[in-house]
Each structure stands twice: as C-alpha cells, then as structure tokens.
Amino acid sequence: MKANRYLTLTIATIITAIGLGAASAASKESSSSTPQQVFDGMRQSFQAQKAKGVHARYQWDLSGPQGGEWWIDVNDGTFKMGKGKIDNPNVTFVAKDKDWVAVSNGQIGGTWAYLTGRLKIRGDQGLARKLGEIFP
C-alpha cells in the first residue's frame, strides 16, 4: 500500500512538472493553438541556470492532423530544439496533438491525461520532472 502511494505521488509529481511547468509556456494561447506554438513558447521560457549539469534528450511523438515529432536536447545550460527525431532520447512523450496542446494550455490536467492514457511518458522519470524546471 505504501509503495502504491509513493508511485502515485511520483507520477503526479512528474505530470505536475510537465503540465504546469514546461508545457505552460503556451498557457495563454487559445484552444486553437498548435503543438508548434507550444514549442515556440517553450523557447522563450528556457532557464539556463536550471539546466546546468543536465544532459537530456527529450522526444515528442504527437499524432493527429497537427502532430509530428519534436525534440529538445539539453546540454549543460544550453538547449537545441527541432522537428523530427533525436537519437537515443532519455524521455519520450506520446500523445495526440490536441491533448498535448490542452495539457500545455492548462485546459486538461496533466495527471488526468497521464492516468487516462492521453499522455504517455517513456524513459527517465527524473529527467521528465526536470523539464518543468528548465522550461517553466
């Protein structure tokens, strides 16, 4: 029972970091915003000091009419971002385009999206949480 509560807390922490942190860069956008607008907003919110010592590769695989693949490579206080695939990602986020935008804009909760399967997180959960600090 205690382990189950810890797992639930860990998952909730990750989703909170993603839903309220990294993805909130586009929180003022309307529901018609696109995944590309979310990523463009993330560029503006990068916190180099929070990324010092972090070496992480993030991948997004978004399905749907405005879906596609995006990546972010964080390397010791710097980042690169682009469309397509990155080699050997540490964390991969999988969702429908509209669900990722809705989580990013705060229209649906990240925890709910994760627990209902609308958002999947594969890979290093610690680095997934760190994304919310690097891109608040």
**Rounded to two decimals, what is the model's pTM?**
0.77
> pLDDT tens, 79-131?
999 999 999 999 999 999 999 999 888 899 878 998 999 999 999 989 988 98
Domains of the chain: 2-134 (3.30.1050.10)
Q: Whole-angstrom Cα distance, residue 50 to residue 3?
A: 30
Q: Whole-angstrom Cα distance, residue 67 to residue 85?
A: 13
- Measured from the Cβ of residue 81, the count of other Cβ atoms closer than 10 Å reads 17
Query: SS3 for 62?
Result: strand
pLDDT of residue 30: 47
pLDDT of residue 120: 96
Distances 96 to 50, 55, 109, 113 between C-alpha atoms, Å:
29, 27, 15, 11
Residue 22 CA neighbour count, 13 Å, CB half:
23
pLDDT of residue 43: 94
pLDDT of residue 79: 98
Q: What is the mean pLDDT of the chain?
A: 84
pLDDT of residue 107: 93
Question: 26 and 100 in contact (C-beta within 8 Å)?
Answer: no
